[in-house]
Amino acid sequence: MLNSAFNHCNLPPWVIASRHFNDNPQLLEVQGVRQANRFLFRKLDGIGSPEERGEVFNDYMSVKFQLHHWQDQRTDTARKSLKNSYLRYLRGWMMDSNSVEGAVLKGWVESRMGIVPTYHRARIEGIHTEAYYQYAVDRTKGSARTNAINSQLDILYEFCQYELARRFPHERWVTLYRGTCDADEYDALEEISRREKIVRFNNLVSFTSDEERAWEFGSTVWEIRAPLVKVFFFNDLLPNSIMKGEGEYLIIGGEYRVRRVMCTV
């Protein structure tokens, strides 16, 4: 997998993207984010309800990035810049992971984790290819649409990690599923058994916690054990989530051991 020499994390890209990390996950932190927003996390410590914590998070983001003042701006560009918050990019990913919004989310993973995407509209073979250039164009367009989107996503990821630790204090992994119609198009790095192999996924990829729902997306369904520290977002993290009820997880990619699920119908 293409990895950058730089990131904003406490571990290097080749470690984060490796299969060995998934077997032995370690704490992942975007450097400086928890400390810079320590007052938010201190306040969350005193709140027992996940729903209320989500509301406090949304309010904090609105104030910190002036998202609630979008109507007060003098120009259309300024109004859109504030109105298009992190929620807009999550919705865009839901509609199409190869959209401009999808490029921004993949760009956040590349910038913060140092893992370069392997697909955006087309397979990306390297950073000097036309496909990477087109991805970079989409990423730039999307980033220009809002105020400090990478900083917003930094806090979103750290809040997600905070919530996972609060809700599942004794868990390190979550079992997830992905349905696909083009299983042969993925990079299979190693065949482990008839039903298991090591697959290289894009730097950000959607899974679901609902096995039955995974079958809606393809004739092949894979099961993985994803480290909780590589969960960027999950369906009921925020109140009134656009993904609520769908069991969706956005996972930081790399090399994963996958097990093919057999259809029981």
- In 3D space, the residue among 76, 108, 79, 103 whose CA is nearest the CA of residue 92 turns out to be 103
Of 107, 138, 167, the residue that ends a domain is: 167
- pLDDT tens for 99-115 read 999 999 999 999 999 99
* Lookup: tokens for 231: 């969960």
In terms of residue numbers, what domain contains 209?
A: 173-261
Helical H segments across 65-117, by residue range: 76-83, 86-95, 100-113
Amino acid at 179: G
In a domain, 36, yes or no: yes
- pLDDT tens for 199-222 read 999 999 999 999 999 999 999 999
224 with 195, same domain: the answer is: yes
pLDDT for the residue 74 = 43
In whole angstroms, give the CA distance from residue 257 to residue 88: 32
144 with 192, same domain: the answer is: no
147 with 76, same domain: the answer is: yes
In a domain, 4, yes or no: no
In a domain, 237, yes or no: yes
pLDDT for the residue 82 = 46
pLDDT for the residue 1 = 61
Number of domains in the chain: 2
33 with 160, same domain: the answer is: yes
Residue 192 burial class via C-beta count within 10 angstroms: exposed 0-12, middle 13-18, buried 19 and up? exposed
Decide if pLDDT at 75 tops 60: no
Of 167, 195, 219, the residue that ends a domain is: 167
pLDDT for the residue 136 = 97
DSSP H or E stretch at residue 123: strand 122-123
Banded pLDDT at 84 (limits 50, 70, 90): low
- pLDDT tens for 27-41 read 999 999 999 999 999
162 with 88, same domain: the answer is: yes
Q: Please enumerate in sequence order all residues whose Cβ is within 8 A of that of 166, keeping only pairs 6 or more positions apart, or say none.
A: 50, 53
Strand partners, 175: 225
- Please calculate the CA angle 193-197-199 and round it to the nearest 5 degrees: 170
160 with 32, same domain: the answer is: yes
- pLDDT tens for 124-182 read 999 999 999 999 999 999 998 788 999 999 999 999 999 999 999 999 999 999 999 99
Banded pLDDT at 264 (limits 50, 70, 90): low
In a domain, 8, yes or no: no
45 with 162, same domain: the answer is: yes
In a domain, 198, yes or no: yes
40 with 18, same domain: the answer is: yes
What's the whole-number average pLDDT of the chain?
91
Strand 196-208 versus strand 122-123 pairing type = unpaired
Amino acid at 127: I
Of 167, 195, 224, the residue that ends a domain is: 167
115 with 223, same domain: the answer is: no
In whole angstroms, give the CA distance from residue 58 to residue 107: 22
pLDDT for the residue 145 = 78
In a domain, 81, yes or no: yes
In a domain, 3, yes or no: no
163 with 186, same domain: the answer is: no
In a domain, 238, yes or no: yes
255 with 161, same domain: the answer is: no
- Global pTM reads 0.93
107 with 155, same domain: the answer is: yes
